[in-house]
Amino acid sequence: MKNDLLSKIDNRQIKVGVIGLGYVGLPLAVEKAKAGFKTVGFDIQKHKVDLVNEGCNYIGDVVDDDLSLLVKEGMLRATSDFSFVKDMDFVAICVPTPLDVYQQPDLSYVKSSAESIAKHMTAGTMVVLESTTYPSTTEELLMPILEERSGLVCGKDFYLGFSPERVDPGNRIYNTKNTPKVVGAIGEDALELIASMYRAVLDGEVHTVSSPAVAEMEKILENTFRNINIGLVNEMAILCKKMNIDIWEVIDAAATKPYGFMPFYPGPGLGGHCIPLDPYYLSWKAREYNFHTSMIEASMMINDRMPEYCKDRAMHMLNRVQKAINGAKVLTLGVAYKQDIDDYRESPAIRVIKQLLSVGADVSYYDPWVSHFKDGDLEMESIPALTKNVLSESDLVIVTTSHSDVDYHFVQRHARMIFDTKNAMKHVQDRDNIEVL
């Protein structure tokens, strides 16, 4: 069976299924189809299925013409009917893995995907989980569901592995196609097959590891590394403010060292799906082993506190001009979680807005990438244009996302006061009305 599958990979006869057509799944489905594999995207959201089948792109990292051409040529289609899993040789699970209200892992999407796959998959199927999760999920959660619901045996009748997604929305250098891939699987045959599938599609290195748990922990380490270092520099920023030292100048100076230092930058908090969430997955799993992740949890607390710190700084700035935060007109520039993308998942900018609203500020926002957002009970629309009147009538302007298509010189000329949490205005000459984080 393994040799037959390897031959089918070489001959591009493998049929690929991708569960979840979001920021991870759709780019992966497009790359699989571009590599010559007929691909089916599965999603429970009908509007995503309809858009894909119409050749309409909704993900920034996918090229519009690539998607439309692949759909037109019959290489890619989408469906909400999971019975088509029976026709798939390779199935990648790319569904969300959020936290619940208690900040604990919510694997309901992974579980429901596994149940849907198991109901229809046949012998010889390769299944790969790409969603970020805690170590042992593949073997302790996914494998039992697939075996019990399908009647098939892992390693004998089907092949199972984990290969963490490494999507960085808006990155103009690294994308799904050229980013190195890590693969861990249950058994040598599964590892060889799954790695061969990725090598047939991607330009980046495919690095194999000894087990799914190693691959799962590797992804957690990547993002926990960033979380801790951002927590460190955020704490340094707070201390530097008290000492009247410019943290941005400090970082620039430290970055001149050619070894032993990697620059990280402060901001209003952490955003995106992975970096703010993954440390919670690890600290939750660590409790099973009676282990307290003290350094990780400390960085999480610092980063989680940054939106409130930004609110406090805004209050102090307004107080200096005898203006109360209650009733003050505050304009935030940007709600996307990072520069030049339309993704606002877990955006710290939205948490800053909520903090400001909680103390009575009259808040509006401008974001050329995000015209509208809904986060829980909060729903807002961007002002249509960043005009002289909008800026001059605001008591305070807060830069919460450093979009490159905002004219910061124009902002400086017409705003009364500016709180720049991203150092987006570092090249503006006249800085008398600007205060940085």
Q: Is residue 80 part of a domain?
A: yes
User: Which residue, of 210, 237, 262, is where some domain finishes?
Assistant: 210
d(CA 235, CA 410) in angstroms, rounded, equals: 31
pLDDT at 174 over 80: yes
Do 65 and 115 fall into the same domain?
A: yes
Q: What's the CATH code of the domain at 127?
A: 3.40.50.720
Cβ atoms of 89 and 15 closer than 8 Å: yes
Question: In which band, very low, low, confident or very high, does the pLDDT at 235 lie, cut at 50, 70 and 90?
Answer: very high
Q: Tell me the one-letter amino acid at 176.
A: T
Tens-digit pLDDT profile for residues 242-278: 999 999 999 999 999 999 999 999 999 988 877 778 8
**Helix or strand holding residue 172 (H, E):** none
Q: Report the pLDDT averaged over residues 194-214.
A: 96
Q: Is residue 216 part of a domain?
A: no
Say what the pLDDT of residue 427 is.
93
**Helix or strand holding residue 74 (H, E):** none
Say what the pLDDT of residue 359 is.
98
Pull the structure tokens for residue 208: 């194999």
Say what the pLDDT of residue 259 is.
96
CB atoms within 10 A of CB 11: 9
Do 111 and 82 fall into the same domain?
A: yes
Q: Tell me the one-letter amino acid at 347.
A: S
Say what the pLDDT of residue 320 is.
96
Do 109 and 231 fall into the same domain?
A: no
For 60, residues 6+ apart whose C-beta sits below 8 A from its C-beta are 169, 170, 341, 342, 343
Q: Is residue 220 part of a domain?
A: no
Say what the pLDDT of residue 63 is.
92
Please tell me whether residue 364 adopts helix, strand or coil conformation.
strand
Q: Is residue 340 part of a domain?
A: yes
Say what the pLDDT of residue 61 is.
85
Do 35 and 132 fall into the same domain?
A: yes
Task: Write down the pTM of the prediction.
Answer: 0.91
Do 349 and 272 fall into the same domain?
A: yes
Say what the pLDDT of residue 217 is.
96
Higher per-residue pLDDT: 104 or 329: 329
DSSP β-ladder status, 181-185 and 372-375: unpaired
Across the chain, mean pLDDT equals 95
Q: Is residue 283 part of a domain?
A: yes
Say what the pLDDT of residue 276 is.
79
Say what the pLDDT of residue 222 is.
93
Q: Is residue 180 part of a domain?
A: yes
56 is catalytic: no
Q: Report the pLDDT averaged over residues 287-306.
A: 93
DSSP state for residue 99 in the 8-state scheme: B
Which listed residue (94, 154, 240, 274) is catalytic?
Answer: 274
Question: In which band, very low, low, confident or very high, does the pLDDT at 331 lie, cut at 50, 70 and 90?
Answer: very high
Do 190 and 243 fall into the same domain?
A: no
Q: Is residue 217 part of a domain?
A: no
Q: Which residue is associated with the tokens 């790319």? A: 94
Do 56 and 179 fall into the same domain?
A: yes
Query: What DSSP string runs through 371-417?
Result: SEEEETTEEEE--S---HHHHHT-SEEEE-S--TTS-HHHHHHH-S-
Pull the structure tokens for residue 133: 């999760």
Ranges of beta strands (E only) in 20-72 are 39-42
Do 92 and 127 fall into the same domain?
A: yes
CB atoms within 10 A of CB 72: 10
User: Which residue, of 210, 233, 265, is where some domain finishes?
Assistant: 210
Question: In which band, very low, low, confident or very high, does the pLDDT at 129 lie, cut at 50, 70 and 90?
Answer: very high
Do 197 and 342 fall into the same domain?
A: no
- Residue 203 sits in which domain range? 2-210
Say what the pLDDT of residue 273 is.
74
d(CA 43, CA 58) in angstroms, rounded, equals: 14
Q: Report the pLDDT averaged over residues 55-67.
A: 93
Q: Report the pLDDT averaged over residues 416-429.
A: 96
Q: Tell me the one-letter amino acid at 159.
A: Y
As a whole-number percent, the residues of the chain with pLDDT over 70 amount to: 100
Pull the structure tokens for residue 435: 């205060």
Q: Is residue 215 part of a domain?
A: no
Q: Which residue is associated with the tokens 């709180």? A: 419
User: Which residue, of 159, 177, 210, is where some domain finishes?
Assistant: 210
Do 190 and 248 fall into the same domain?
A: no
Q: Report the pLDDT averaged over residues 348-369.
A: 98
Total domains in the fold of the chain: 2
Q: Report the pLDDT averaged over residues 79-83.
A: 97
Say what the pLDDT of residue 277 is.
82
Q: Which residue is associated with the tokens 């400001």? A: 356
Do 312 and 371 fall into the same domain?
A: yes
Say what the pLDDT of residue 278 is.
84
d(CA 153, CA 310) in angstroms, rounded, equals: 53
Do 243 and 170 fall into the same domain?
A: no
d(CA 247, CA 244) in angstroms, rounded, equals: 9
Q: Report the pLDDT averaged over residues 42-69.
A: 95
